[in-house]
Amino acid sequence: MDERLKALKRTAEYLASKYKVPEFYSHFYHQHAKVRHIYFSDPLIQLVRERVEPELKQVEDLGHGLYHSRKVSWDCGTLLSIELLAVSRRSSLQKRLVILGIIAGLFHDICRHQDNHAEVGARKTAEILKDFPISSDEVTMICRAIRNHEAFVKPVPCTDPYGQLLSDCLYDADKFRWGIDTFTHTLWYMINNQKLTLFDLLKRFPWGIAGIQRISWTFRTPTGKQFGPEIIEQGVALGREIYQHLRNLVANDDQYYNYSH
Ligand SMILES: [Fe+2]
Ligand SMILES: [Fe+2]
C-alpha cells in the first residue's frame, strides 16, 4: 500500500482507539470468546482454514482477506449462538450451526474480485466444500447464506429455518464491518486497489457515509437490529472525522490535492 495511504490508515486507527467497544462485544463477550475458541480448536475448522486461507490472500488487496473474513466468521458464530438460545437448547445442534456459521464467514468473500461476487462465491464454495465432512444440506445452507450477504439486494428466502438464521446472521456479521472497520481497514485497500486520488476520495466521501447510514435499517436478526446501529453510528462518526482530516490535508497541501498513484 502507498505510504500516504498507510499514514491515513494509521490516523484512522488512532482516532478509532478513542471510541468505546460497541455493546455487542462487551455484552456478549463470553459468547464471542467461546466462538473464537471453536475457531482455533475445532478440527473441521482447522481443515477449512488451511483450504480457504490461500483463497483469502487473493482478495487481501481489496481489504476482504483473512482479517475481514475471520471477523465476520467470529461475529456470525456469536450471533448464531445468541439467536439459537431462543430456538433450541440442543447444545450439539447449536455447536454444529456455529461451526457452519464460521465456515460461511470464512468463505463469503472469496470471489470479491468478480462481478456478482456473492453468487459466484457461493458456487465456488459449494465446489470446495464437496471434499469436506459436511452434508449436502449443510453446504446448501452455507452457500445460500453467502449468496444472500450483499447489502441492498433482496435476499432469497431459505426453506429451512436454521438455514434462514444462518443467512441472516452472516449478513449482520458482515455489515458490522461497515462500522469502525471501514476506516481502520477496508477503505484504504479499496482506494489503493482502484488507484483513486485523494481528491476523488473526498468527492465521494459524503455519498459513502450516506451508504453506511443506510445499513442501519437493513439488519436482519433481532440481535443485529438491537446492537448493529451503534456499530454503524461509530463508523459514521469516525468517517466524519476522517473526512475533516482529509479536507484539511487537501486544503493545506497541493501535493495531496494532486496526489495520485
Ligand atoms: Fe461481500
Ligand atoms: Fe464481507
Mean pLDDT per segment of 10 residues, for the chain of length 261 residues? 89 96 98 98 98 96 94 98 86 92 98 96 97 96 97 92 96 97 93 86 91 96 98 97 90 61 46
Q: Could you tell me the distance, in angstroms and rounded to a whole number, from the CA of residue 119 to the centre of ligand 1?
A: 10
Q: Could you tell me the distance, in angstroms and rounded to a whole number, from the CA of residue 250 to the centre of ligand 2?
A: 30
Closest CA to 140 of 187, 103, 178: 103
- All structural domains of the chain with their residue ranges: 22-175, 181-257
Q: Could you tell me the distance, in angstroms and rounded to a whole number, from the CA of residue 150 to the centre of ligand 1?
A: 6
Quick one: pLDDT at residue 196? 84
Angle, alpha carbons 246-250-254 (nearest 5°): 155
Maximum Cα–Cα distance for the chain, whole Å? Answer: 63
Quick one: pLDDT at residue 186? 93
Q: Could you tell me the distance, in angstroms and rounded to a whole number, from the CA of residue 214 to the centre of ligand 2?
A: 17
Fold of 22-175: Hypothetical protein af1432 (1.10.3210)
Ligand lying closest to the C-alpha of residue 182: 2
Quick one: pLDDT at residue 89? 74
Ligand lying closest to the C-alpha of residue 70: 2
Q: Considering only CA atoms, give the Rg of the chain.
A: 19
Quick one: pLDDT at residue 261? 46
For the stretch 73-108, pLDDT in tens is 999 999 999 999 888 777 888 899 999 999 999 999
Q: Could you tell me the distance, in angstroms and rounded to a whole number, from the CA of residue 50 to the centre of ligand 1?
A: 21
